[in-house]
Structure 1
Amino acid sequence: MTAYMIGIDIGTTSTKAVLYDEEGAVIDKAQQEYQMLTPTIDTSEENPEVLFDAVVNTLQGVISKQRVQPEQISLIAFSAQMHSLILVDQAGKPLTNSITWADNRARYAVEDLKNNHQGQQIYERTGTPIHAMSPLCKMWWLKNDEPALYAQAARFVDIKSYIIYRLTGEWVMDESIASATGLYNLWERDWDAEVLALLELTTEQLPKLVSTQYICQAMDAGLANQIGVRPTTPLVIGASDGVLSNLGVNSYRSGEVAVTIGTSGAIRTVVDRPLTDSKGRIFCYVLDDTHYVIGGPVNNGGVVLRWLRDELLASEVETAKRLGMDSYDVMTRIAERVAPGSQGLMFHPYLAGERAPLWTSDARGSFIGLTLAHKKEHMIRAVLEGVLFNLYTVYLALVEVMGEMPSKIHATGGFSKSALWRQMMADIFDCQLEVPESYESSCLGACAIGSRAIGKHNDYSMIADWVGKTHAHEPNQEYVQCYQELASIFIQVSRDLVASYESIAKFQRTYYKVEE
């Protein structure tokens, strides 16, 4: 009887359930999208009930479509977005929506924590930068601005913890998700006592900490029947989407770097001990009992291309529809007509504020170097290059902290479907690039964790076979020098504009508030 694994990724814009055979081959995938709730310029929330339904629906969908029998499912393993926060009452009912990583309402708490509450020391213990994305900053904001709501909360949880609770009745949080909260001490592998004292919390108000290989309690029988699995099917809690993406592209050894560009983006490498940065530029999160992931997240990945397509390229989208082509393919075809460097036109892609490398919610996007000689195709290519230049800036910080140059970059995410963008990354980073044909790296990484949890494998060596065929790109040295020079200008201009970003953001919030 054929056995199957399911990796499920609870993402920011959608939930995906991927059905694999025991050799890591993709059999089928189900996906359900949902809307982010953005009633104000700084609010980014999601309805936890919608995300729970998406988990149930995608699991049920992929199983029923392939007519898989309950006894054929050997495990279900979870990946999830980081930094979400839900306040729940004593009965386990949400008091808030899920406040996502993109929410900026805690921006004022950031300066308070940095200046008045030893923010750098907190970062060095927890590995989570002091930024509005983190649950620590969100909780500090709520404690001070919404004290009645804060006091009403019986527990503070993330979206995966909430979904696991709905499935099993158990409040647990894996150490990977916990290490991205700002409340978890990397060195003690436990909740940080000083942070909890600052927040006036007890450990009983947080989920129980468990290993990323933890097998959850049995699933509710009614839900199991609805989904099409046995209640005793191993539910492996897994880890966060970022660290699992490293596993899913077979990048977990020293000297290997993984880059992901989805809605947002990140660049990461695996180390064998906690490692932080005196300048506070990178994160350090748990992968498993012996591996940690350091790197930097960016807010502005594929979401920037979607903005470009929807707001500036209406005629190109219509052409794509008439030709039966993907609109993003048309965009890259147009960009191919322009030489690297876009004739000196640069795009700073900070449309959603920015985490690494600037770590400010006030960052704003801009075209720099625009002249009458530039046309729409230059702007398209500059946007593609700008997203990569921003990631390259984070890469340089990572190299500085690591003390070594990576030997190879493994890339994944929706961008990796584009041969142009892949080659562009190899040229900008001046490094060999490998891209697996399977794009659902977080789901595959979750199954790797799950396979170890149930005793099927003792290490991650099987991932190389699971990943299978890859696209390989070598940097084109003719273009490397051009990009290196432009990257220096890109970095200098972004630093010069930091003070101006604050003024622009203040003006926007004062005169252009978005009403709820």
Structure 2
Amino acid sequence: MDILALDLGTSSVRGLVLDTGAAPRPGALARRKVRLTVDDDGTGTLDGPTYLACLAECLDELATGGHLRDVGLVAVSAQWHSVLPVDRAGEPLGPVLTWLDTRPEPLAGATGPADEAAYHRRTGTWWHRCYWSVRLPWLRERTSTPPARFIGLAEFVLGALLDAAPMSVSEASGTGLLDLNTLTWDAEACELAATGPGELPELAPDGWRGRLRPEHARRWPQLTDAAWAAPVGDGAASNVGSGAVGPGRAAVTVGTSTAVRLVQAAPAGAELPPLPAGLWRYRVDHEYVVTGAAYSSGGNLFAWAGRELRLPEGAELDAALARIAPGGGVSANPRFGGDRPPGQAPAGSGELRGLSLDTGAVDILAGLMSGICRLVATNLTELESTVDGPVEVVLGGGALAASGWWRESFAAVLAPRRVRYRPDPEIGATGAARVALGRLDEPVALRDIGRTDEVASATPSGPRGPQYPS
């Protein structure tokens, strides 16, 4: 049996086929770029119907290439925190609000949790613009039609394809409304969000499986009998895909954004591990939790620098960076996209300091990358306070695959810890497959998947519907 692994990312949607050992089959990869609408006011949105069309293109490409004929299981890695208001027919009332959107704020006169520490322990989150406790009231005031329900990007996409699309406990934990121990919607969090259970997605039970709707089975007949597993939050999937499962190994993943995370066993109903005040906690599935910190900057900074600073490319850029010591470059605050929780800095908080007439574009790029390394180092120390001693670090993600200097900088800044690199650009998709198979802590042999390029979508990727006013 082969596994189709889908990655519903922020900058692209991807599909790849894995063998029964969760190793990618060479060449069986389809990717489509998606356009994230961003603005200086903190906007960070995706168009849901366009995103769905891009995923369909990926499935069409894989089907045409004959890659879906032996697929028996579909696994999904999906971004956390996204939210979309829909009407009674399930139609979007606006764009998908992604994790990158920093506009939501508490309504005038609103107050937060009665006991912030207890709220943090239960939900793993804070009363923060990233979570539905703040986002839902903000969205209600900006939709002309009162929303009937709120769903995430994964539920919108899978709801269009499958016979049912309940929200996984992993995705639900990213909303900030889930009690991580009881795996039910938290009453106080729902009160803060001014929402009732009927307006939230149904929660998927342990072991849930879905099936393609008949009309889509006719389009992709190879997937007619395939079982679809409940989605896994992208950060949790990346940890599993990089082999960072257990208290002795943390993962540092750099894709569009950056995160440092630790996965630990914590079955539903069992006592949860200690949670430092500055770290979040979400669910991998019903048996594991993931604890860590995330930053809005990562590969998006690399892309920004390449576009705006007229950097050299390829071997020329590598040679220029090699002249700078790992962890060096100008002094930089890389928070261009603002803070992820619990921080409150808005988009546009990045800084460059200590510039001189000798400062070049490559010095600025190096400083930005080194700045992210130092943010990670601070939170990694907090993570280590919950386990016995220093942890081993596994680096992964597409942005690190593109820069050997960045990998060396992480090793230098995180020393004396042992730092290793997992050269797999699709760790999120492969991690989701391992979760679906129930083999989180088993090593998986990696092989080159042959190509990682993105094909431009034939579907227009700009905004197609009304935007939310700021």
TM-score (structure 1 length as normaliser): 0.79
Question: Is there any run of 5+ residues in structure 1 with no aligned partner, and where?
Answer: 321-325, 453-458, 470-514
- Name the CA shift for 1:156/1:412 in 2 (closer, same or farther; >3 Å): same
| Residues 275 and 294, structure 1, Cα contact 8 Å, conserved in 2 | no
- Establish whether residue 198 from structure 1 lines up as the match of residue 196 from structure 2: no
Tell me how far 1:384 sits from its aligned partner.
2.1
Superposition map of 1:68-467 within 5 A: 68=67, 70=69, 72-108=70-106, 112-114=110-112, 118-143=115-140, 145-146=141-142, 149=145, 152-211=146-205, 213-216=207-210, 218-273=211-266, 274-275=272-273, 277=275, 279=277, 281-313=278-310, 316=312, 320=313, 326=314, 329-340=315-326, 342=328, 345-355=330-340, 358-361=343-346, 364-402=349-387, 404-430=389-415, 431-452=417-438, 459-462=439-442, 464-467=443-446
Tell me how far 1:178 sits from its aligned partner.
0.2
Partner residue, 1:478: none
* Paired AA for residue 26 in structure 1: P
* Paired AA for residue 444 in structure 2: D
Q: C-alpha distance in 2, partners of 1:357/1:365?
A: 17
Q: Which has the higher contact order (CA 8 A, sep 6+)?
A: 2
Q: SS of the counterpart of 1:172? A: coil
Tell me how far 1:362 sits from its aligned partner.
5.2
Tell me how far 1:404 sits from its aligned partner.
3.2
| Residues 102 and 347, structure 2, Cα contact 8 Å, conserved in 1 | no
Q: SS of the counterpart of 1:91? A: coil
Tell me how far 1:87 sits from its aligned partner.
0.8
| Residues 254 and 398, structure 2, Cα contact 8 Å, conserved in 1 | yes
Q: SS of the counterpart of 2:323? A: coil
Q: C-alpha distance in 2, partners of 1:160/1:26?
A: 22
| Residues 256 and 410, structure 1, Cα contact 8 Å, conserved in 2 | no
Q: C-alpha distance in 1, partners of 2:19/2:52?
A: 25
* Paired AA for residue 367 in structure 1: L
- Name the CA shift for 1:403/1:139 in 2 (closer, same or farther; >3 Å): farther
Map Cα deviations across residues 265-305 of structure 1 (whole Å, 9 max, x no partner): 111001234346453x2111111222100001110001111
- Name the CA shift for 1:247/1:269 in 2 (closer, same or farther; >3 Å): same
* Paired AA for residue 159 in structure 1: L
Tell me how far 1:130 sits from its aligned partner.
3.1
Tell me how far 1:402 sits from its aligned partner.
4.1
Map Cα deviations across residues 122-170 of structure 1 (whole Å, 9 max, x no partner): 3332112332222222113234x34864xx2111100111112111242
Partner residue, 2:60: 60
Dislocated runs of 4+, deviation >6 Å: none
Q: C-alpha distance in 1, partners of 2:183/2:64?
A: 40
* Paired AA for residue 243 in structure 2: N
Q: C-alpha distance in 2, partners of 1:276/1:139?
A: 29
- Name the CA shift for 1:285/1:212 in 2 (closer, same or farther; >3 Å): farther
Structure showing greater Rg: 1
Q: C-alpha distance in 2, partners of 1:420/1:335?
A: 7
Q: C-alpha distance in 2, partners of 1:88/1:169?
A: 18
Q: C-alpha distance in 2, partners of 1:295/1:69?
A: 35
- Name the CA shift for 1:369/1:109 in 2 (closer, same or farther; >3 Å): farther
Partner residue, 1:33: 33
Which stretch of the first structure deviates more once superposed, 333-342 or 240-249? Answer: 333-342
| Residues 327 and 413, structure 2, Cα contact 8 Å, conserved in 1 | no
Q: Determine which structure has the larger helix proportion and give its number.
A: 1
| Residues 241 and 442, structure 1, Cα contact 8 Å, conserved in 2 | yes
| Residues 75 and 234, structure 1, Cα contact 8 Å, conserved in 2 | yes
Q: C-alpha distance in 2, partners of 1:362/1:61?
A: 37
- Name the CA shift for 1:50/1:118 in 2 (closer, same or farther; >3 Å): farther
- Name the CA shift for 1:237/1:60 in 2 (closer, same or farther; >3 Å): farther
Q: SS of the counterpart of 2:102? A: coil
Q: SS of the counterpart of 2:445? A: helix
Superposition map of 1:495-510 within 5 A: none
| Residues 357 and 393, structure 1, Cα contact 8 Å, conserved in 2 | no
Map Cα deviations across residues 61-111 of structure 1 (whole Å, 9 max, x no partner): 12321x1464x1111111101100011111111112111111111134599
Q: C-alpha distance in 1, partners of 2:273/2:100?
A: 25
Which stretch of the first structure deviates more once superposed, 32-41 or 185-194? Answer: 32-41
Partner residue, 1:482: none
Map Cα deviations across residues 437-470 of structure 1 (whole Å, 9 max, x no partner): 2220110011112223xxxxxx4354x133469x
Question: Is there any run of 5+ residues in structure 2 with no aligned partner, and where?
Answer: 267-271, 449-468
